[in-house]
Amino acid sequence: MGAITNRRSPSWIKRMEPHKRTHFNPLGAPALSSLRAPIVRIEDHKSEVTSCDFHPSGKFILSGNSKGQIYLCDIYGTFSKTMLFKGHADSVTETHFSRDGFDFYTCSKDGTIGIWDTFRGYRKARLECHEDGVNCVQGGRLAYPILCSGSDDGTVRLWDAREKECVLTLNNTSTVTATCFTADGDYVISGGHDSDIKIWDLRTCEIVCKLRGHIGKVTGLSLSPCGSYLLSHSVDNTLRVWDIRPHVTFKRCVGCFSSYQFFPSALLRCAWSPDGTMISAGTSDRDVFVWDALTGETLHELSGHESAINDVTFHPKESIILSASKDNYLFLHEL
C-alpha cells in the first residue's frame, strides 16, 4: 500500500502550554548541566509514556504515549516550545529523530508508521503496509532516509522515506519487536519473540548470522556508536553485548548484564551513551541502571519513577539521561 501525505491539515498538531514539571535538588546540589536542577520530572503526559528520544542538537525531547500522542518540547528554560502531534489510533511503540533532526519517525499498534516534520509541525507521510501492529522503527546512520520496521505480522520492512513506500519485506518466523541498521546500512538486525537476534543481508534478503543466548523475547536493540557492537534487552532479565564485526570467529556475546522486568508484554528498550563507554536500560522495578560498557560495573542506579521504565536515551552532548515510564512521567537525570 502507498503513503498518504497531507501538508495542510493542522488537526494533528497543537501548540501546548509549557510542560508541567518538577525540579528536584537533592541535598541542595546545584545542576552541573544546562538543566535547572540535577533531576527534572516532566508531567504533561496523561498516560503511559512508551518511548523517548533526544534531538541531535540536544535541545528537544520527543516522546510518545499509550494514547497515540507524540510530544515535542524544549528541555531548557521554560519548556515553552511544546507541540502535541496526533495521528495514531493506538499506542505509540517507538519514536526517533532522523539523523539531521529535521524529521522524526513514529510507529504504532494501529499498524502504521508516521513521518513528521519536526519544526513545521505536520505529518509528511502515513505508511501503511504492515498487516498488524508495528512494534519498532529505526532510521539508518547514512544520509539517505531509509527506515526499517518490525511488526506483529512477523515481517521486517524497509521504507524509502523520500518515496514514502515499502521497498523490501523480510519474512521472519515470529513477531518482530526490535530492529536497527548496521553502521554501513547493508544489514538490518532484528529481534523478537523467538529470542534469536538475526542479521539480514539486504542484498540477498538472507539471514547471515543468528545471535543466540537470550531465552526470552528480545525487547530492545541498540547499535554502539562505533558500529561494532550490539546491545540487546530481553524478558529473560538480561542485557547482552554482542560483537557483530563480520570476521569474528570466537564467541560473539562479550558481556551480560542483569536487568529485571515482570511485564512480559512490555517493550523495554536499551541505549548506548554517545561515546560508547556506558550502556543503560530501565527495569520493571522502577529504576534506571547505567553500566560501564567495558567492565560491567554499575555506575548509576537512578530512582524516582513509580512504575516500570519503558525507554531510556542519553543526551547527545551532556551527561544527562532521559527515561520514560508507565507512571506517565519523563525524568531527566544528570549523571
Q: Residue 145: is it exposed, middle or buried by C-beta count within 10 angstroms (0-12/13-18/19+)?
A: buried
Cα–Cα distance between 227 and 184 in angstroms, integer?
Answer: 8
Record the pTM: 0.89
Matching residue, cell 498488524: 132
Residue 16 has pLDDT above 50, yes or no: no
Q: Which residue range forms the structural domain that includes residue 328? A: 3-334
Look at residue 269 in the predicted model and tell me its pLDDT.
93
Look at residue 5 in the predicted model and tell me its pLDDT.
35
User: Cell for 19?
Assistant: 510542560
How many independent structural domains does the chain possess? 1
- Of 294, 286, 272, nearest to 331 by C-alpha is 286
- Of 271, 275, 229, 270, nearest to 248 by C-alpha is 229
Look at residue 10 in the predicted model and tell me its pLDDT.
38
Share the mean pLDDT of the chain.
87
CATH number at residue 13: 2.130.10.10
Question: What's the pLDDT tens digit per position in 242-293?
Answer: 999 988 878 899 999 887 766 665 778 999 999 999 999 988 888 999 999 9
Please answer whether residues 284 and 250 qualify as being in contact, where contact means their C-beta atoms are separated by less than 8 angstroms.
no
Residues above pLDDT 90, as percent of the chain: 67
